[in-house]
Amino acid sequence: MNQTVQDALPDYSLAELMICAAAEAFRDDGEILATGIGLLPRLAASLAMKTCNPDMMMTDSEAFMLSEPNPVSGREPSQDKGHVGQAQETWMGFSRIFDNVWSGKRHALVGPSQIDRYGQTNISALGGTYQQPKVQMLGARGFPGNSIHHANSFFVPAHSKRVFVEDECDVVCSIGYNPARLPKGYRFDDIDIRRVITDLCVMDWNGPNHMLQLLSVHPGVTVEQVLDNTGFEVHVAGEVPLTTAPTPLQMNIIGQLDPLNFRAKQIKDNPPGDRR
Amino acid sequence: MNKVQSAQEAIRYIESGMTIGVGGWGPRRKPMALIRELLRSDVRDLTVVSYGGADVGMLCAAGKVKKLVYAFVSLDFIPLEPYFRVARQQGDIEVMEVDEGMMLLGLRAAAWRLPFIPTAIGLGTDIIKNCPDLKRVDSPYDDKEWVAMPALNLDVSLLHVDRADARGVCQIKGPDHYMDDWFARAAKHTIVSCEELVATGYFYDGEEARQVFWERSNTHSVVPIPGGAHPSSCNPFYGFDVRHFKEYADSVKAGGFAAYRDKYLGGASEEEYQQSVGGLEAIRRLPLPVY
């Protein structure tokens, strides 16, 4: 890439910045099944497969693994194939997904409703009791099994204390780095929680004693903003860099993966990626 | 052997207090006509095991459920199932909340006549902390603890498939048979509704027998009901009915389940139900979902 192109970096939205930052989470994964739940996580996984990790595996979100990720605007269903024109290579019905999950060869990028200081998450219910929650959400879905069997990263479109809660999650759906809950015979190294990508920053769980630590802030976001909107302590080691801006190549591929620009509707008011 | 029955005849196998499994997944290939027949019966106090969608919502709203075994209840494009939510937030039902894969293990344990299957799933989470039904065990082979996922022994399973013959050979030609084979194997009695009743010779040709996922000895009642998965999907015959699901979900704030029930479930038969939603032709025209 020459200097002229560098200077002419395109404008990018916050959604596009988050897609590129989240794609990085899959860079060193090799030949694993990547699952991005939700439109931006799915775009992030797709982008990773098209750029930094071509060995990765993905599905059509229905029943087949793909050699090439489908555009998120979808493909028309087909009578004799999964969808018209898709590059399907392996049948992958839901029961078989669990064979993959339990083998550990998977990395899921998911959007929990609550995340606590231990990296435990909740999508099941809020408040009340087991018998009668105040707010019933989805149920634990596959979070318990995912979290103990394979890598997980988190995608948070609105970084706040409502998500990054002060106390433990109301319903702990996924195992985290919590000494009080560590199962017999387990070490923290058996648990593999990777990155957290939010609308403010990128973090991971590699601080002291697996504390959440700040890796980068998005352009125009301050470290204080991150700390003020997180319900527990975040480790900050020295100077915090800015999240890397999308390259023209990444922007081009994102455009191909999302030709109808669904990504523009994912973050409130579709703000620019550089908010300086 | 002829296992063909009417929905009414088949549903008579279900008695109050039984444990029933429901096949399909969320808004996809649910045996909804059989659920509607169950709603017309006076059966109650059921324990329901399901990858839940409107099947669970309707059974909860109709007061049929004593206990629910679930990992989620969702209509996917409408993430939160309205009547499951109401039942939970009112504390109406007992629950056993498990992980999606744990449910599969529980069905397999039942199918294989094992008391439990050991798994790591649930360790470190509230799934095992909250649920008195889930115990942990030590391994004779290592120093770790394991969750003993108990067998989910089912009295009756309800499934909807593409095709079946009168002896209970069932074919699912859509892209995924979900866990339906395990629901069939985990139950003492499996009731299958089908889009098409075919002659046994149908399976002789080409690859047709490749989409048969359990032996006919696991099927006990065959109920031909074309369109019987509506409003859930039966790919490749029809997609799920987005408009109908929206109306169903909206009804929770306008008249409640009674209003939905009066409008769509008041009739004595599935024919009347199908007329109320535009008829079988309209169901068969519902577009398949785009992913």
User: pLDDT per residue over B125-137, tens digit each?
Assistant: 999 999 999 999 9
| Cβ atoms of B176 and B49 closer than 8 Å | no
Asked whether residue A62 is assigned to any structural domain, the reply reads yes
| Cβ atoms of B255 and B267 closer than 8 Å | no
For chain A, the farthest-separated pair of C-alpha atoms sits apart, in whole angstroms, at 63
Mean predicted confidence (pLDDT) in B55-78: 97
- Domain positions in chain B are 7-97+152-284, 115-150
Task: Report pLDDT for A1.
Answer: 42
Residue B289 pLDDT level (bands cut at 50, 70, 90): confident
Asked whether residue A272 is assigned to any structural domain, the reply reads no
Least reliable range by pLDDT among A57-66, B81-90, B184-193: A57-66
Residue B162 pLDDT level (bands cut at 50, 70, 90): very high
pLDDT digits (tens, 9 = 90+) for A189-222: 999 999 999 999 999 999 999 999 999 999 999 9
Mean predicted confidence (pLDDT) in A124-135: 97
The partner residue sitting opposite B144, judged by closest CB among A63, A172, A185, is: A185
CA-closest candidate to residue B279, choices B235, B236, B224, B226: B226
Q: Are strands B46-50 and B19-22 parallel, antiparallel or unpaired?
A: parallel
Q: Tokens for A213, please give them.
A: 């630590």
Task: Report pLDDT for A196.
Answer: 98
Task: Report pLDDT for A74.
Answer: 83
- Dist. CA B7–CA A271, nearest whole Å: 55
Measure in Å the smallest separation between the Cα of B97 and chain A Cα atoms.
7
Q: Is the peptide bond before A271 cis (omega within 30 degrees of 0)?
A: no
Average pLDDT, chain B: 97
Asked whether residue A3 is assigned to any structural domain, the reply reads no
A75 touches chain B (CB under 8 A): yes
Mean predicted confidence (pLDDT) in A104-129: 98
Of the CA atoms within 13 Å of residue A39, those in its CB half-sphere come to 20
pLDDT over 90 for what percent of chain B?
Answer: 97
Assign 3-state DSSP to chain A and report helix, strand, coil percentages, each to 5: 30, 20, 55
Asked whether residue A79 is assigned to any structural domain, the reply reads yes
For A246, list phi and psi in degrees, rounded to 5. Answer: -60, 145
Asked whether residue A6 is assigned to any structural domain, the reply reads no
Mean predicted confidence (pLDDT) in B29-58: 98
- For residue B131, give the amino acid letter: C
Task: Report pLDDT for A77.
Answer: 77
Q: Do A136 and B84 touch (CB under 8 A)?
A: yes
CA-closest candidate to residue A67, choices A80, A54, A81: A54
Kindly calculate the radius of gyration of chain A based on its CA atoms and give it in whole angstroms. 19
- DSSP type of residue B60: H
Q: Do A61 and B131 touch (CB under 8 A)?
A: no
Q: Tokens for A102, please give them.
A: 């339990």
Task: Report pLDDT for A80.
Answer: 62
Give one word for B206, left, alpha or beta, with left for phi > 0 and alpha for psi -120 to 50.
left
Mean predicted confidence (pLDDT) in B252-272: 94
Measure in Å the smallest separation between the Cα of B125 and chain A Cα atoms.
5
- DSSP type of residue A71: P
Query: In the predicted model, is pLDDT for residue A5 greater than 60?
Result: no
Q: Do A131 and B91 touch (CB under 8 A)?
A: yes
Query: In the predicted model, is pLDDT for residue A9 greater than 70?
Result: no
Measure in Å the smallest separation between the Cα of B51 and chain A Cα atoms.
9
| Cβ atoms of A237 and A264 closer than 8 Å | no
pLDDT digits (tens, 9 = 90+) for A38-86: 999 999 999 999 999 999 999 998 899 999 999 998 887 776 667 788 8
Task: Report pLDDT for A76.
Answer: 79
Beta bridge partners of A201: A217
Mean predicted confidence (pLDDT) in A4-24: 83
CATH of the domain at A75: 3.40.1080.10
Mean predicted confidence (pLDDT) in B191-207: 96
The partner residue sitting opposite A141, judged by closest CB among B94, B100, B289, is: B100
Residue A4 pLDDT level (bands cut at 50, 70, 90): very low
Q: B246: helix, coil or strand?
A: helix
Query: In the predicted model, is pLDDT for residue B202 greater than 70?
Result: yes
Query: In the predicted model, is pLDDT for residue B27 greater than 60?
Result: yes
Size of chain A, expressed as the number of residues it contains = 276
Q: Do A64 and B290 touch (CB under 8 A)?
A: no
Q: B7-97+152-284 belongs to which CATH class?
A: alpha beta
List, in order, residues 6 or more apart from B279 with CB less than 8 Å away.
none
Q: Judged by CB atoms within 8 Å, which residues 13-42 of A form the interface with B? A: none
- Dist. CA B22–CA B193, nearest whole Å: 12
The H or E element that residue B258 is part of is helix B256-264
Beta bridge partners of A151: A107
pLDDT digits (tens, 9 = 90+) for A142-186: 999 999 999 999 999 999 999 999 999 999 999 999 999 999 999
Beta bridge partners of A203: A196, A214
Asked whether residue A34 is assigned to any structural domain, the reply reads yes
pLDDT over 70 for what percent of chain B?
Answer: 100
Measure in Å the smallest separation between the Cα of A245 and chain B Cα atoms.
29
- Dist. CA B151–CA A244, nearest whole Å: 50
CA-closest candidate to residue A228, choices A200, A247, A255: A200
Mean predicted confidence (pLDDT) in B73-84: 96
Q: Give the domain extent around A210.
A: 11-265
**Which DSSP string corresponds to A52-69?**
T-TT-BEE-SSSEEESSP
How many domains does chain A contain in total? 1
Q: B144 to chain A: which residues are within 8 Å by CB?
A: 183-186
So what's the ipTM on this one? Answer: 0.96
- Dist. CA B93–CA B96, nearest whole Å: 10
C-beta contacts of B242-251 below 8 A and 24+ residues apart: B242/B77, B244/B277, B245/B27, B245/B54, B245/B75, B245/B77, B245/B78, B246/B78, B248/B54, B248/B57, B248/B82, B249/B75, B249/B78, B249/B82, B251/B82
Q: Do B145 and A94 touch (CB under 8 A)?
A: no
What global pTM score does this model have? 0.96
Asked whether residue A2 is assigned to any structural domain, the reply reads no
Asked whether residue A276 is assigned to any structural domain, the reply reads no
- Dist. CA A80–CA A101, nearest whole Å: 28
